[in-house]
Amino acid sequence: MAPLSAPELEAILESAFPGNEVPRVESVVGDEVLCSLSVSARHGRPGGTLSGPVMMMLADTTAWMAILAQVGEVLLAVTTSLHIDFLRKPDLENDLMARGRLLKLGRKLAVVDVELFSRGHQPLVAKAQVTYSLPTSHDAASDR
């Protein structure tokens, strides 16, 4: 199976979460996906920084996109573990970016490394490792 493209992944997000704000899939290159989320004061928390749940959502979604880019539209792949380290304060003026790289793609589990940073800035604001459980072929067949 050929890897899914950024537009194909965005269509999956829009279909899976109709009417919700979803990240933008900017690129798919090999086993790496780059996603972005436009942020504003409504994503903030006291202290003028981005809220942790927003960063975790982008990390999780980016991991899901990195996996689907390789395995196709397997919507029943689910998060089993998400570990995140918040490294520094992101700003609320630039998009939050996430670069997800597939570390392992097994029959039952997939592991993705995700780096989060503000658009146009080098230092990471957070680093996550996300593990997904992949459905069995029987589960995947019922997913279609």
* CATH number of the domain residue 112 falls in: 3.10.129.10
Which residues constitute the domain of residue 64?
A: 6-143
Q: How does the average pLDDT of the chain come out, rounded?
A: 90
Residue 70 belongs to some domain of the structure = yes
pTM exceeding the 0.85 threshold for the entire prediction: yes
Instruction: Determine, yes or no, domain membership for 73.
Output: yes
Number of structural domains in the chain: 1
In terms of Cα–Cα distance, which of 92, 82, 87 is closest to 122?
87
Amino acid at 138: H
112 within a domain of the structure (yes/no): yes
**pLDDT tens per residue, range 62-113:** 999 999 999 998 889 999 999 999 999 887 888 999 999 999 999 999 999 9
Q: Is residue 1 part of a domain?
A: no
